[in-house]
Chains A and B, each alone.
Chain A
Amino acid sequence: MTSHHTGEMPAIRYNFAYLDEQTKRMIRRAILKAIAIPGYQVPFAAREMPMPYGWGTGGVQVTAAVLGPHDVLKVIDQGADDTTNAVAIRGFFEKTAGVATTTATAEATIIQTRHRIPETPLGEEQILVYQVPIPEPLRFLEPRETETRQLHALEEYGLMHVKLYEDIARHGHIATTYAYPVEVAGRYVMDPSPIPKFDNPKMDDCPALQLFGAGREKRIYAIPPHTRVRSLDFEDHPFAVQRFAKPCALCAASGVYLDEVILDDRGGRMFVCSDTDYCAGRQAQGHRGEMAAPAAGQALDVMPGLDPGIHGVPPVLPAQGVDGRDKPGHDGVSDRVGGAGGMP
């Protein structure tokens, strides 16, 4: 009924990297367990963070738990250091931990990422922390946690193989382009977070420690250094990554992941590195793409699109979802096996 306080409120002080030490200890225990069982989703008591669930709370908690005062932190979103959410998270750690930050991949000791793995190869002194929206690779095949937990325990991944097979039967190829499921250390099927499948090979035998944090779903998982990570596929339909027909228009890099930038309303577009640090580094070394010079910059004669690839032609246009939302592991909810009622 009445206020219990009057007058001015004292300023609120927070611990180094926001979380209290007990909470960090709890998270570190979960991380250690995750490292001991590669690819296994370890439940942890995720805390409420001062940024919204789904905006990187899992990654932020993992980073806060492993961050020390001498670390150098890099934060990327979509491969870029200057996207708004990357800026916000980097600012959070600058404010709460006072650590040094960088945009240079090679200089960072901890890299927190959303949706990409940097193009510059990582080293054994580095930790890559992924923000994970939905940690369960089977979630869109089976919505119930009670069921999927059992499927993992029994190493029963038939649902996933059937889904991939059905893709091939319908489209002539596997229609998963990001959050492409992997098998870790020959045991657990894992969701690599919504990175493009282009990045999947970088996880294999990576010298850096890879940690995955899902705050809302309260799960942590890990890929220890030099662990075998295999993207699921079939002998006659081996896993393949996206290839781009042309190099980056700014730095001329090839074999990297490119973003499509729409230039006008007449179909003009260009393709540039998604990894802004990598691109800037190459430009600093003097590499020049075809649109790097200010003068060059009209609509292109040929669309430098992605390599069409060689695949069977489906008889009809498939009903394929095309939105860019997070649906780890799967491209179409219509492909769901089972449904809300669960498995029989």
Chain B
Amino acid sequence: MYVAAKGGEKAIRNAHKLLAKRRRGNENLPSVTLEQIAAQLTLAVDRVMAEGSLYDTHLAALAIKQARGDLIEAIFLIRAFRTTLPRFGNSRPLDTGDMLVRRRVSATFKDLPGGQLLGPTFDYTHRLLDTSLAVPDEAGEVDDQAGAAAMRADEADPAEKMPRVTDLIGAEGLIEASPADDGEEPFDITRAPVSFPVDRATRLQTLARGDEGYLLALGYSTQRGYARSHPFVGEIRFGDVEVILDVPELGFPVSIGEVQLTECQMVNQFKGSAEQPPQFTRGYGLVFGQCERKAMSMALVERALRWAELGEEPGAPAQDEEFVLSHCDNVQATGFVEHLKLPHYVDFQAELDLVRRMRREASGRTPADEMKEAAE
């Protein structure tokens, strides 16, 4: 009897109903609100905004809720929505030096202008499960401002500017300068197909929306001898940066809001070349929200990818531009890996035929023999 799967339409509908039910979970419990997600799962929201390439905490929270907490699925939802948005224009380049800093640490200096500011960090916490969180917790004991002051390692004025560490070393010429703005409109990987080899803007954009886990593993590999580049954390800073837009109709720049960013400047050794004296080089990481692991990994991988420009030996996985950049997008990766779930029976039929034929040819058997064998 012929019982091939029919009625795919109904099956899909029912599967989606079941999905909605599972997403909601136990209906005796209150539904989680977007405000709760945005306020209490901030780092999940940050990751979805960063890899989704769309800065909107509310939409990210919605995506997380809809995706049942599957962050790659949430990132995918955000990306698919982002595609449909019109472009109003480009902001001015963000000035991270002018950041309202909420956290800033440097591993290369004990102290520095502006000080070390631990901010909200898991660093130095003991990773012991806190059973007191098992019940609804009380409102915070420290308010933000008092907390910030208490977290400062020094008694510096909170209003003091925090120059970037790389600018401090840069003043001595010990570290390579940031390339000057050439005034060119940067390549936009969301509007044009990437073609290898790529320029630095393309590389950084691709890494900035790349999968955190993938970049973490590649960055880690550079620390274990695959493209070793002797990194130091020159600085990690996290805070709020103003987004400024030139509106031609108005004739003056307008601040359209603030975004939170994590910036990592990795300082790496460079032994120098015929043209350049020995100096420190840098790898750069910049991510929406507080995504420190991602920003650090990005900086390591970015630096490893610069091997050609700095005359270093190639050969490590993290140095392979086409490999690294072609596979770092988790929306692409998850789609293509998961597409193996789709029916492939037409191709499989062709392969079945081939393998049966080859087995027959190898053994000199007939189709009837094979039938008998299959029946046994």
Contact = CB atoms under 8 A, between A and B. Distances in A.
A321 B352 CA distance: 10
The bracket for how many chain A residues form the interface is: 35 or more
Interface stretch (A156-164, A171-179, A184-192, A227-235): A171-179
A311 B362 CA distance: 11
B356 A324 contact: no
A257 B56 CA distance: 50
B361 A52 contact: no
Contacts of B80: 48-50
A114 B2 CA distance: 23
Nearest to A13: B84
Residue in A50, A53, A195 whose Cβ sees the most chain B Cβ within 10 Å: A53
A74 interface: no
B367 interface: yes
B361 A314 contact: yes
B339 A54 contact: yes
A344 interface: no
Contact of A172 (B61, B340, B346, B361): B361
A114 B34 CA distance: 38
B197 interface: yes
Interface in B332-376: 332, 334-340, 342-362, 364, 367-368, 370-371, 374-375
B76 interface: yes
Given A78-B343, A242-B350, A316-B362, A9 B367 contact: no
A245 B356 CA distance: 14
A305 B356 contact: yes
B338 A52 contact: yes
Contacts of B86: 20
Contacts of A331: 351, 354
B38 interface: yes
Interface in A18-70: 18-20, 23, 43-50, 52-55, 57
If over half of A's interface residues share one DSSP class (helix, strand or loop), that class is named, otherwise mixed; here it is loop
Interface stretch (B6-14, B157-165, B199-207): B6-14
A135 to B, nearest CB: 12
A3 B39 contact: yes
Residue in B5, B57, B346 whose Cβ sees the most chain A Cβ within 10 Å: B346
A148 to B, nearest CB: 11
Nearest to A304: B367
A291 to B, nearest CB: 7
A317 B339 contact: no
Given A43-B195, A311-B361, A314-B361, A84 B339 contact: no
A43 B82 CA distance: 21
Given A3-B57, A78-B346, A242-B350, A272 B2 contact: yes
Cβ-closest 10 pairs across A and B:
A53-B335, A324-B348, A54-B339, A52-B335, A177-B350, A43-B193, A54-B336, A267-B375, A267-B374, A306-B353
6 contacts: A53-B332, A79-B346, A175-B358, A216-B335, A302-B367, A308-B367
Given A53-B335, A274-B346, A331-B354, 5 more contacts: A2-B57, A54-B336, A85-B343, A88-B12, A259-B345
Interface of A: 1-6, 9, 12, 14-15, 18-20, 23, 43-50, 52-55, 57, 77-79, 82-88, 91, 114-116, 133, 144-146, 171-172, 175, 177-179, 194-198, 216, 218-219, 242, 245, 249-250, 257-261, 263, 266-267, 270, 272, 274, 291, 294, 297, 299, 302-303, 305-306, 308-309, 311-314, 316-318, 320-326, 331
